[in-house]
Amino acid sequence: MRESFKKYLNEDVKFDNLTWTGIFSFLIVFSGFFGWIYEFIFYYFNGGMKQFYMQGGNFLPWINIYAIGAVMIYFLTYKFRKKPWLVFLISFVSCGVLEYISGLGIYVLLGKRYWDYNNEILNFGNIDGFICLRSLLFFGISSLFLMYIVIPFTFKIAKSVDKRFFAWVCLVLLIIVLFDEVYNLVFSHVFDLPNAVDVYKKIGLKYVTYN
């Protein structure tokens, strides 16, 4: 295990396009799920540990901005993987930019807030409710988990199993997740169909709301 990790740090991997497709499909699915779990737990504590809140706008437990962030972190930090402090710093800054631009863009274009750190615990370093130091520290620490545990493990699996099996399993999972995303973002509005938030609210599940 130690030798394979050293090899990960010192040698650039070479995979064919099919395997890379599987790797990034897995990364997108896993990181979106990881973000959902984090928010599900955080908002339980933020709400006074009285009830759990659903997060995201999908039927499946997956949040898109975490998937976008994970892919971004990989491309920005992979070549600096020998320097964990630099991986942390790049992720800290880049995720802050991503989160601020995303939150502000949604607010300007749609007039909605999908998150607001003004209404949350541990919101020190809060800027306009779109970013705060706590969230950036979490993203920085999560980037270390991503680059030094998740990515090496994924590379190891990709090398160990049949590449077609690996790629297609991961790709199918990604297609399912993206169909859920597109349905809730597009189809439910265009064809006036029930979306995930409406369905979950009808069965009594709670969502965090912002003004």
pLDDT per residue as tens digits for the range 3-55: 888 899 999 999 999 999 999 999 999 999 999 999 999 999 999 999 999 99
pLDDT score, position 211: 59
Token duo for residue 103: 């939150």
pLDDT score, position 25: 98
- Region 167-179 average pLDDT: 98
Mean pLDDT of the chain: 95
Backbone angles phi, psi at 210, to 5 degrees: -130, 150
The kind and range of the H/E element at 207 are: strand 206-207
| Domain tally, the chain | 1
pTM above threshold 0.85: yes
- 84, 78 Cβ separation under 8 angstroms: no
Domain of residue 180 covers 2-207
Contacts of 146 (CB under 8 A, 6+ apart): 31, 70, 73, 74
pLDDT per residue as tens digits for the range 111-129: 889 899 998 999 999 999 9
Question: What is the CA 62 to chain-centroid distance, rounded?
Answer: 8
pLDDT score, position 209: 80
Token duo for residue 24: 């990034």
Per-residue pLDDT band at 62 (split at 50, 70, 90): very high
CA–CA separation, 29 and 110 (whole Å): 26
CA–CA separation, 123 and 131 (whole Å): 9
> Which of 160, 171, 142 is CA-nearest to residue 72?
142
- Region 160-181 average pLDDT: 97
- Region 127-144 average pLDDT: 96
- % of the chain beyond a pLDDT of 70: 99
**Strand partners of residue 54:** 207
pLDDT per residue as tens digits for the range 69-100: 999 999 999 999 999 999 999 999 999 999 99
Place of tokens 């409406």: 198
> Which of 55, 58, 69, 30 is CA-nearest to residue 115?
55
- 45, 121 Cβ separation under 8 angstroms: yes
CA–CA separation, 39 and 117 (whole Å): 13
> Which of 130, 8, 131 is CA-nearest to residue 74?
8
204: left (phi over 0), alpha (psi -120 to 50) or beta: left
